[in-house]
């Protein structure tokens, strides 16, 4: 079994050693330009077209939860990866727990009004504030995939009303499910905290805009953990200025790194992190890839394959 590996920033030596250990007998190499030798599997992140073009691979693994970079290249270069070659993404591999930590910590930060107390601190004001009530702090999760389910699971014990929205209806304990465009307004109505975990597809680009934000509860909050292209940043700033949104926590942006001239940097009610909400954890990723390759080699059914038409 021959495996080729490419990632522009990962430590290739570590990955080659870990994969060789996890898949005894496999020949694992780092792909270099000009390498046209045989390969059965490819492990990639932002791969050059020439790496995959013309290869009859058994499968390709994207080294992350998102596959939009590969799919965007396929639009311009469909010959890079024929339809019959399956493409897999990392379903969890530690990302679920990271998303849970991020979402729970931020929701509680807003619920306990720590943002307001920080603003009062800047004014040297000692002023206890009225508490928010759980039943008036509805949390809506846009996107009900693996990561969305993990976030809902972590938030459920805290007693907030929970709801999710996706293409198809879900049956998660303690979570009200909405599905399809026709149910989006009902999902947004009275939602106080909107958590975005949608996949990046043509249908979801720009979905968080003025029209959507205006359907949320007044003084609501936005937590964007998915992709920057989902959010119209100008509409976000307008909603913050009008008071429709009380605050936003952003981990992803339309341009990354975020340009120094972006007004988001200086806005007092926008908190940010540099796309670190959930990163690939190499040991868990290697375990998942080794297990999945083993199942594929045995002819067994596996999960995690990308539906190219849907984009995830």
Query: Residue 18 contacts by C-beta under 8 Å, 6 or more apart in sequence?
Result: 282, 283, 286
Positive or negative: CA dihedral 6, 9, 10, 16: positive
Q: Which of 7, 55, 192, 227 is catalytic?
A: 227
Quote the CA–CA distance of 159 and 20 in Å, as a whole number.
46
Q: Is residue 53 among the annotated active site residues?
A: no
**What DSSP state is assigned to residue 132?**
P
DSSP-derived secondary structure letter, 82: -
* Catalytic residue (one of 27, 109, 275, 308): 275
User: Residue 79 corresponds to which tokens in the numbers above?
Assistant: 């010959």
The whole-angstrom separation of Cα 218 and Cα 245 is 7
Strand, coil or helix: 272: strand
Q: Tell me the DSSP string of 163-196.
A: EEEESS----TTEEEEESGGGHHHHHTT--EEEE
Specify whether the CB–CB gap between 192 and 136 falls below 8 A. yes
Structure tokens at 153: 């699971």
Geometric angle at alpha carbon 144, from 212 and 304, rounded to 5°: 135
Catalytic annotation on 275? yes
Q: What is the DSSP letter of 231?
A: B
Measured CA to CA, the distance from residue 164 to residue 141 in angstroms comes to: 5
Which residues are CB-neighbours of 204 under 8 A, at least 6 positions away? 198, 230
Give the DSSP H or E segment for 284: helix 282-297
Catalytic residues: 227, 275
């Amino acid at each position: 079994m021959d495996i080729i590996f490419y990632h522009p920033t990962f430590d290739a030596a570590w990955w080659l050693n870990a994969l060789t250990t996890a898949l005894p007998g496999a020949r694992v190499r780092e792909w270099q330009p000009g390498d046209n030798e045989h390969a059965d599997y490819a492990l990639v992140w932002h791969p050059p077209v020439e790496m995959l073009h013309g290869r009859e691979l058994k499968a390709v693994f994207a080294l992350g939860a998102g596959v939009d970079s590969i799919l965007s290249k396929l639009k311009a270069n469909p010959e890079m990866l024929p339809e019959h070659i399956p493409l897999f993404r990392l379903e969890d591999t530690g990302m679920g727990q990271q998303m849970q930590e991020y979402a729970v910590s931020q929701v509680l930060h807003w619920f306990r009004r720590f943002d307001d107390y920080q603003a009062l601190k800047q004014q040297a004001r000692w002023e206890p504030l009225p508490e928010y009530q759980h039943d008036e702090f509805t949390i809506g999760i846009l996107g009900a995939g693996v990561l969305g389910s993990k976030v809902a699971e972590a938030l459920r014990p805290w007693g907030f009303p929970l709801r999710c929205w996706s293409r198809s209806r879900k049956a998660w304990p303690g979570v009200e499910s909405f599905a399809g465009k026709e149910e989006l307004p009902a999902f947004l109505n009275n939602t106080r905290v909107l958590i975005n975990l949608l996949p990046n597809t043509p249908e979801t680009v720009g979905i968080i805009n003025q029209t959507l934000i205006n359907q949320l509860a007044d003084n609501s909050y936005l937590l964007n953990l998915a992709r920057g292209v989902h959010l119209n940043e100008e509409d976000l700033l307008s909603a913050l200025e009008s008071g429709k949104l009380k605050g936003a926590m952003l981990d992803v942006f339309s341009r990354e790194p975020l340009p120094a001239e972006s007004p988001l940097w200086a806005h007092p009610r926008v908190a940010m992190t540099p796309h670190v909400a959930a990163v690939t954890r190499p040991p868990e990723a290697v375990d998942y890839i080794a297990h999945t390759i083993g199942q594929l080699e045995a002819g067994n059914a596996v999960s995690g394959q990308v539906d190219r038409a849907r984009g995830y």
